[in-house]
Copies of this chain bind each other. A is one copy, B any other.
Amino acid sequence: MNENLHKPKHIAIAGSGLVGALQSIYLKKRGFDVSLYERRPDMRNNRISAGRSINLALSDRGFKGLAGVGIDEEVRQISIPMYRRVMHDKEGKLSFQPYGKDGQAIYSVSRGGLNCKLMDLAEAHGVNIHFNHRCTSVNLEEGSAVFESDHDRVEVKPEFLVGADGAYSEVRNEMEKRPWFNYSQYYIDYAYKELSIPPAADGTHQLEKNALHIWPRKDFMLIALPNLDGSFTCTLFFPKSGPLSFDSLDTLDKAEAFFKEQFADALALMPHFREEYSSNPAAAMVIVKCFPWTWGDKVMLIGDAAHAIVPFYGQGMNCGFEDCSVFDELLVNHEGSWRDLMHKYEKARKANGDAIAELALRNFIEMRDKVADPGFLLQKKIEARFSEKHPDKWIPLYSMVTFSHIPYHEALMNGDRQESIMREVMALPEIEQRWDSEEVEQLILSRL
């Protein structure tokens, strides 16, 4: 880090969620004075859900972000590796798709547990976390903000403000009022509802533990991720309205009959189905895009505040953690003004935020529809085989996104190129018999 860089002394961060807490540790380690303001109470006292999914899938980009503050291995210990997708058809028959090469996995981790760990670490580094303080106004020119609690109103005047306050960011909300700030919020027509499969009587998992389970049904799907206590958190992704939708399943009997028809093996493991179905909300999923991500040399957005995406690639948190590690790298190597650093940061990240938004949308179709198609699974097997023989020439798209640090926007471009080659391969007559032939390998090589 350029010692002469005129940089802010005191930085305030709005939001002590996953990304805000991690960013606070990075900045504190670089010598800044850091305060965190969080609108919710301290979840370490009384476990409250943030109204969002209970577990998440950590992958390589996320671990790199955690490694930068030294807690990647500790978090890995409290995560469950998922080595493959297990698809459940209507009859309960299973099929399988490995995520990567041997030993490669994505890791199911508790959102709340990870957030608590990050806040513990932030405080251990000397970050002050002010809970129950909601951001009510922002001054973009000064980089200051007002935070209000039930009995308190603090006007915080740091020299720099970080908006890590999520998809409904108050900091970004202030930018939206300004000319030349581009913004979009797009809700997909689906909603999600969480359910659960409890542990077996002996505390073990009732489905294969080290896997992500999918019940792909073309226009909708159920998934299940393992938890440490032997349970699974299940999520139904389903149209919000229409002929077959959350709206149409307007009684518990209809909902249960629907599950019996579509997800009988899962329903059999859900003793609390009716309570959970009625009490858990059908929640919305939004894609947020905006630009710029910074305001002068006073404010920056990070994580969901800058780029909220749908959950289907399991990359929302991973992308936010990558924001933190990339920003830290830029900061350390930066020569020039703080304002220039802001431009470098948003330039480095914007295209990647857009790309993972697109990839996440596409992965919904892959998960709910394509993984039930033997042709798709064969294509992935051919790609995996080719990639193993020519690792320098072909990294499957899923691996680029999940097990590499290739910028998302490059992964997207490479993936599109690969897809056009694979269309040609899959159109070969009798590809089912010849999938591992020399001829297929030569065809791919000739197209690269």
| A residues in contact (CB < 8 Å) with B | 168, 176-177, 179-187, 240, 283-284, 286
Contact = CB atoms under 8 A, between A and B. Distances in A.
10 contacts: A176-B185, A179-B187, A179-B286, A180-B187, A182-B185, A182-B186, A182-B187, A183-B184, A184-B185, A184-B186
A284 B187 contact: no
Contacts of A181: 185, 187
Contacts of A180: 187, 240, 284
Contacts of A177: 168
A184 B183 CA distance: 5
Contacts of A284: 179-180
A342 to B, nearest CB: 15
A64 to B, nearest CB: 32
A37 to B, nearest CB: 21
Contacts of A184: 182-186
Copies of this protein, total: 2
A186 B240 CA distance: 27
Contacts of A168: 177
A183 B185 contact: yes
Nearest to A289: B184
Nearest to A240: B180
Nearest to A176: B185
Nearest to A286: B179
The 6 nearest A-B residue pairs measured at CB: A184-B184, A179-B284, A180-B187, A182-B186, A183-B185, A182-B187
A402 to B, nearest CB: 28
A191 to B, nearest CB: 9
A185 B289 CA distance: 10
Contacts of A185: 176, 181-184
Nearest to A287: B182
A338 B283 CA distance: 28
Contacts of A186: 182, 184
A280 to B, nearest CB: 15
A180 B247 CA distance: 14
- A168, A180, A184, A283: residue with the most chain B Cβ atoms closer than 10 Å: A180
- A182, A283, A286: residue with the most chain B Cβ atoms closer than 10 Å: A182
Nearest to A283: B179
A187 B177 CA distance: 12
Nearest to A185: B183
A194 B185 CA distance: 33
Contacts of A179: 187, 283-284, 286
A183 B184 CA distance: 5
- A176, A185, A283, A286: residue with the most chain B Cβ atoms closer than 10 Å: A185
A185 to B, nearest CB: 5
A168 to B, nearest CB: 8
A356 B190 CA distance: 29
A286 B168 CA distance: 22
A340 to B, nearest CB: 16
A165 to B, nearest CB: 14
Nearest to A189: B180
A182 B185 CA distance: 6
A299 B157 CA distance: 40
A61 B184 CA distance: 29
Nearest to A183: B185
